[in-house]
Amino acid sequence: MSIINIHSNVLIFDDNDDVVTSNPKRRNTDWTVDISGVKVSDPESKSYTIAPGDTSTIFSGERTLTVDNTTVFSVSLNPVSDATYRLTNTSGTAPGFRTDRVILLNTKTVNVAVNNNATVEFTVTGTPDFTGVVAGDIVFIPDTTTGDSASPFNVLNVGFWVVLANTASNKKLVCKRIGTADFQGVSETVVITANAQFLVFSSAGVQVGDTLSLMSGFSSITLASTYQIQAVTPLWIEFGSTVSLPLETGVSPTASGIAIYSSAKNFVRVEVDRESVIRLNADSSNNTKLSPREQGTKDGVAYLEMWGNVYKMVIVNKSDSDPLKAIVISAIKST
């Protein structure tokens, strides 16, 4: 745990232009701000040198998505979980929250065998099989208890599992419950009647605990907040909201209208000694320009200081001939 203190004074006066004084009489602005004792974590102060004309990503907690102009979403309320909303891809390019292993088991028989070490074995009969599934992947069996359609599986077998091994020539998955969830499962034999009843996807990608930020396309109420992700599959994510959100369909935010990030800075200060552009979060424009009072000097730097969620910072050196020197100070506000 660290403490941040910020002291700022802006004094503009209109006394005799030729006289430097510490106690001016004609003060246009005399504004002092003292912020003391704010608890923060992960404080950093780093120096960077950016070559002429180069663009440098200083930090980024942003998850890579595949949302494009064709991706369409809906927002629904999970019927079995209070204040939990589901953002679902309904058409267009998949958002890429996770990588779908495309296990097509419709009409196939799956045998579930419970072991005595808190694991289960899912064994499929015939083809297709579990080719492409690797250890660490996630199995999701949806059911009415998860807010989905009824499942042919016993309720004790539904929900999320993590794959420990893919054996028997891709016919058998050995799994345990995900994370610290208590084990529950029962032996049974099931005939799957729809591919959506047994999903397998990567563990890499958007994670539980990540933050969802929506910037366009959705209602103004939905756009007003950021949300913590509670569950994820390749096509939907669930998040909590203490504010009632409108249910929506046919929303196309485009790639710039949705961002998911794993971490964010709450305080940042950047100083630059050359003409530059600062891009924060999803901004890809050149709108935020910094112009030093004196190019290439330590005392004449331009700076930007702010409080707020900053999950990505990019600095562009606008000079064609001189390297840019930047200092970036950041911290995460502790709760």
Domain range for residue 174?
109-201
Beta carbons within 10 angstroms of residue 251's beta carbon: 20
Work out the average pLDDT over 169-183: 94
Q: What is the pLDDT of residues 57-93, one digit of tens each?
A: 999 999 999 999 999 999 999 999 889 999 999 999 9
Q: What is the rounded CA–CA span in Å between residue 250 and residue 245?
A: 16
Same structural domain, 218 and 187: no
Q: What is the pLDDT of residues 11-20, one digit of tens each?
A: 998 887 677 7
pTM reported for the whole predicted model? 0.87
Per cent of the chain over pLDDT 70 is 99
The secondary structure element, H or E, covering residue 222 is helix 220-223
Within 13 Å of residue 128, how many CA atoms lie on the same side as its CB?
12
Same structural domain, 52 and 129: no
- DSSP β-ladder status, 289-290 and 276-280: antiparallel
Helix (H, G, I), strand (E, B) or coil at 268: strand
Same structural domain, 196 and 118: yes
Strand partners, 77: 85
Q: Give the number of domains in the chain.
A: 3
Q: What is the pLDDT of residues 295-317, one digit of tens each?
A: 999 999 999 999 999 999 999 99
Same structural domain, 220 and 77: yes
pLDDT at 288 over 90: yes
Q: What is the pLDDT of residues 46-56, one digit of tens each?
A: 999 999 999 99
Same structural domain, 245 and 271: no
Query: Letter for the amino acid at 230?
Result: Q
What pLDDT is recorded for position 25? 87
Dihedral class, residue 120 (left if φ above 0, else alpha if ψ from -120 to 50, else beta): beta
Per cent of the chain over pLDDT 90 is 90
Same structural domain, 90 and 211: yes
- Does residue 66 lie in a domain region? no
What pLDDT is recorded for position 164? 98
Q: Which of 218, 188, 212, 43 is nearest to 113 (CA)?
A: 188
What pLDDT is recorded for position 179? 86
What pLDDT is recorded for position 23? 85
Q: What is the pLDDT of residues 204-258, one digit of tens each?
A: 999 999 999 999 999 999 999 999 999 999 999 999 999 999 999 999 999 999 9
Same structural domain, 165 and 116: yes
Q: Which of 140, 143, 144, 151 is nearest to 190 (CA)?
A: 151
The span from the first CA to the last CA of the chain, in angstroms, equals: 11
What pLDDT is recorded for position 22? 79
Average pLDDT of the chain, as a whole number: 95
Token pair of 306 as six digits: 């702010």
Torsion from C-alpha of 245, 250, 253, 254, nearest 10 degrees: 160
